[in-house]
Structures are given as structure tokens and as C-alpha cells.
Structure 1
Amino acid sequence: MRTVRVDEIRDTVARLCWEACYYLPSDVVQGLKRAQATEQSPIGESILTQLIDNAELAATEAIPYCHDTGMTIVYVDLGQDVHIVGGSFADAIQEGVRRGYKEGYLRNSVVGDPLRRVNTGDNTPAVLHTEIVPGDRIRITVLPKGGGSENMSAMKVLLPGEGEEGVKRFVLETVESAGGKACPPLIVGVGIGGSFDKVSEIAKRAILRDIGVHHPEPHIAALEKQLLELVNQTGIGPQGLGGVNTALWVAVETYACHIASLPVAVNLQCHAARKRIAVL
């Protein structure tokens, strides 16, 4: 049994919050550069150049890559042989987000009541997903999720007979409906299977996968390749102004489902595909 204090968890989450907003992941920067090299639209190429320059400036100056520093999604893979001491685990996560957004001068984008719309002033509460895993380590992933791309995400329960073609159709409908509103070039996370709640969760987890890493199942990897090609054939392009790079990547995650259902969720992520990971 390994002991970890809650203040270490709190401080780690705080650091990950501002690091995620300052430093675009290297796989995303490389994805933007590949898109820039292949973009056929002069306007699209110019936009991609600006996005790359913006990423470099944000990292150099230690300032947020985007003004929308997101609602904070925190994933914790908690080793079953870890004993957390010194206070509440969940409270430590929330306090870490609170401190991270204050210390990093990040915009507070969370309202406490979805109808009365009063800003909480510290970007809490964060959305926390915890999974118990083997081992004595804690893996923490912070995902700042912007409102524009989240607003254009969608979920639908298809009939089983609609199959793979139905999944492709729904993904394309979602991307085309979003147009430029989700700030392309996108990372497209697709969840297939599970239940009403599970499919949305795995769609969001899909956007955490690095660009260039395919699903281990060959038929799902093939579907990812087909979807990326189809999405880029829409012509939406960077920032919706036309081009061949509407998406940098499509990642698909699956889960078992009921014989009567084929749930599908599409979680769109903008070009500011931020994430930061630490292991304690």
C-alpha cells in the first residue's frame, strides 16, 4: 500500500490546469504542421500558419493558447493500492482546479446553475471521472474543454440494422452541421456502443488519444481512416473557410451494448486540443 497526500494531488491538478492552457500538445502542433503542408486553400494555409504561430507564442510567453480556457474535465486512474490521506480526494481535485485557474490567470467559464447562469468565479466545479485500476500510482489527465466545440457535439441511439453505414452518416451529419462553429481543424471523438451515458463518456475519452494512434482493433482502425477521409472531403476546412483539412484526426472508442441498441456519440474538439497528464 502506497500513501499519497491530498495536497500533492491538489498541487498537481493546479499545475496541469495552466500547463494545459499554455502548451498545446506536441502531437497537435505536428498535426497542424502536416495540415499546413497539405492544405490546398490559400486562406486555409494562412489560417493554419496563424494557429501554429499562436501555439509558439502561447508557449514562449506562458499565456493561454485560447481565451476560452474551457470547462475542466479531470480523469483520474486511481491505483487500487494507493491510500489517500490528509483530506477528501474529490475536494482536492476541485481545489486544484480553483487554484490553477487563479494562479494561471485563466478565464472562469463555469456557471453554477445552468438556468440562472451565475458564474462561480473560479471555474469549479470541474467534471471528475475516476476509475480504479491495478497498481499503486495515480494518473491524472486534465482536459480543458471549450464551449464552441462542445456545443456542436451530439449523441443518438441508432437502430442496430443501421450498422457501420449509419455510424458514418451520423458522424458526417454532426461535422457538417457544426461547420466552422467548432473551430476546425477538429479532433473528432466517436463513441460507439454502451448505454446513453457510457457512449458520451467514451466519445470524450477518444479525443484524448494522440493524433496518429489508431484503435488496436483493425476494423475500428479502418473505420477511423474512412471517417477522417470523409470528414476532410466535406470541404469545410480550417475555421470553416474552405479547404481539405477539416479534421486533424478521428478517434473511435467502442463498448459492448444492448442487442436492441446502437448508441453513437460524436464529441468534437477544436484545434485547441489541449490536455496535460501527470503520474503520481
Structure 2
Amino acid sequence: MQKPDTDHVWSALADATFRAFREAAITLPPDVIQAIERAAAAETNSVARGEFANILQNIRLAEELGVPLCQDTGIPVVYLSLPPDVPVSDALYEAVGEGVRRATKEVPLRPNVVDPITRHNTGDNTGNGMPAVHIRPGERFTVTVLPKGAGAENSSRIAMLLPSHVYGIEGFVVETMLHAEGRPCPPVFLGVGIGGTFDLAASLAKEALLLPVDEMTAFEQQICDSVNKLGIGPMGLGGDTTALAVRVKTAGCHTASLPVAVNVQCWANRHATVEVKR
């Protein structure tokens, strides 16, 4: 197998990362928009209908004007799919960081990344372990970005349930939204991670937000329906739809353990995938 021109690869990766964040910040995936439109059409609460109209106008204007959907452009989370001939190295992480710095300056993205203790702001959304980069092997070299705003991220929760509490998973998800109320800018998308370990369950929950939102299983639909019975509604002002979709990812876990994590995402379920052209 021919060794790739690594300088060219890292330049292409930086460019793809920039383009992915620009796309994610400004436009929503079609399945996300369709979920919002369906909920808006079915809404019976007059206040909620007005909020849906505002959300849909927000989506339209962001795309028309080429500006971010929300002033909170999130904290950068990146997923890389790497073919076997692409080496994992410091240069790879630096290329992703360069793409984030460029996006911060040019899109622009709000510089949200700060040191957790000193609260020092790097000014470019990188530094001190950021952006978070998750790597998986794959046939295609792709960059997937998932900007996470603080309102939704701060509403997320994790629990280490007893194995006998498997029927309590639904209740834990509903309880999470009951505590969150209007803070994560509902209607929300909920990613649920079940199994694995404490850290893996949280990772699965975030990854679940990347799944198509129009393909819910019966289990996911049941949880979604239960969340919507809370009546929190758009922006917490009441209504038929509190959750637009619930998606679940699972992993095997210890026989004595049942980790469950809920990663909350606001109505602007921003994510984008760009192939790295080498």
C-alpha cells in the first residue's frame, strides 16, 4: 500500500474539519428539520405553535444569511473515521485543531472553551484537551462534528442502576427531562446510552444523537411518548412536543451493573459529516 503524502492529508483534514463545523453551525440535517416540521404541524397548543414558527424562521434565516443557528455555537466534538493507511499521530490532532481554529475565526464560532479551574479562555475553542476527538476505523476518511451547546449539555445525566432496574430506564430518561424543564431549549432530541461502563454509557449517549431521528424503534418511541406526556413543550412554555426523538445505543455491561446515560440536545441538533479529500 502506497504511503500517503501526510502533509497533504493533514491539510485536507483541517479543511474538512472547518467545512464540517461551518455546515453544522449554519444548517440542520434534513431529518432533523423534518422532525421539527412534523411536530409543528401536529401541535395543538397556540403558544407552542408560535414557538415552532419562531424555530422554523430561525432555521430559514440562518441558511439564507449564512450565519450560525444559535449564538451558542457549542463546544467542539469530533468523530473521525480513519482508513488503515491514515496514521494516528500528533499531527492528526493538530490538523483537527487547526480546522476548529479556522472555523472559530471565519464562521464565526463563539469561543466557548475555557480551562475548567481557572476559566481562562483560549479564544479559539482549542487547548487543554479540546476539541474532543473520537477515532474509529472505517473504509472512508470522514470528519463528523457535533457541536454541543451548554444549555442542553448541562441537562444531561448518568446513573448506575441495579440490573434489576432495567424497567426503570424509561423512568430515568423521563426524570431527566422533568429536572431539565425548559433549560435545554426544547423540543429536544435525547441520546440514551445503555450498558458498557460509566464512561462508555456517556459516550454512547452522545453518539446516539448522530443516528437518524426518523427511525425510532418501538422502545425508543415508547420513551419519547412518555417524555412528551410531561407537557413541557417548546421552550418550556407548554405543548404537545417536548422530545422530537429518542435514540438509543447499547453495549454489553458487567452482570452486576446497568449504566444509563442521557445526553440532551436542543431542537438545533447540529451535526455534519464531510469526507476528507486526499
TM interval, short-chain normalised: over 0.9
* Deviations, residues 167-200 of structure 1 (Å, cap 9, x unaligned): 0111011011000001100000000000011000
* Deviations, residues 70-124 of structure 1 (Å, cap 9, x unaligned): 0000001111233579x7111101111011111112211110x202111110011
Corresponding residue to 1:97 among 96, 100, 103: 100
1:170 equivalent in structure 2: 172
Which runs of structure 2 are paired with 1:225-240 in the superposition (5 Å)?
A: 225-240=221-236
Corresponding residue to 1:110 among 108, 113, 122: 113
CA distance in 2, matches of 1:36, 1:186: 13
CA distance in 2, matches of 1:16, 1:51: 22
> Is the contact made by 1:194 and 1:258 (CA closer than 8 Å) also made in structure 2?
yes
Opposite residue 211 of structure 2, the aligned amino acid is R
Corresponding residue to 1:61 among 61, 65, 87: 65
Identity %: 44
CA distance in 2, matches of 1:55, 1:243: 20
CA distance in 2, matches of 1:80, 1:192: 29
CA distance in 2, matches of 1:34, 1:175: 21
Matched, 1:8 2:4: no
> Is the contact made by 2:16 and 2:99 (CA closer than 8 Å) also made in structure 1?
yes
TM-score (ref. length: structure 1): 0.93
2:150 equivalent in structure 1: 147
The worse-fitting range, judged by mean Cα deviation, of 10-19 and 50-59 is 10-19
Q: Which of structure 1's runs of 4+ aligned residues deviate more than 2 A?
A: 1-4, 81-85
Matched, 1:263 2:259: yes
Classify the secondary structure of the residue corresponding to 2:69. Answer: coil
Opposite residue 12 of structure 1, the aligned amino acid is A
Classify the secondary structure of the residue corresponding to 1:263. Answer: strand
Shift of 1:166: 1.0
Where does the alignment leave 5 or more consecutive residues of structure 1 unmatched? 215-220
* Deviations, residues 141-177 of structure 1 (Å, cap 9, x unaligned): 01110000000000000000011x2101110110110
Opposite residue 132 of structure 1, the aligned amino acid is P
CA distance in 2, matches of 1:210, 1:49: 23
1:187 equivalent in structure 2: 189
Opposite residue 167 of structure 1, the aligned amino acid is I
CA distance in 2, matches of 1:147, 1:82: 33
> Is the contact made by 2:21 and 2:145 (CA closer than 8 Å) also made in structure 1?
yes
> Is the contact made by 2:81 and 2:137 (CA closer than 8 Å) also made in structure 1?
yes
Classify the secondary structure of the residue corresponding to 1:7. Answer: helix
Matched, 1:126 2:128: no
1:158 equivalent in structure 2: 161
Classify the secondary structure of the residue corresponding to 2:12. Answer: helix
Where does the alignment leave 5 or more consecutive residues of structure 2 unmatched? none
Q: CA RMSD in A?
A: 1.4
Structure number with the higher strand fraction is 1
> Is the contact made by 2:19 and 2:274 (CA closer than 8 Å) also made in structure 1?
no
> Is the contact made by 1:6 and 1:84 (CA closer than 8 Å) also made in structure 2?
no
> Is the contact made by 1:16 and 1:100 (CA closer than 8 Å) also made in structure 2?
no
The worse-fitting range, judged by mean Cα deviation, of 66-75 and 32-41 is 32-41
TM-score (ref. length: structure 2): 0.94
Classify the secondary structure of the residue corresponding to 2:239. Answer: coil
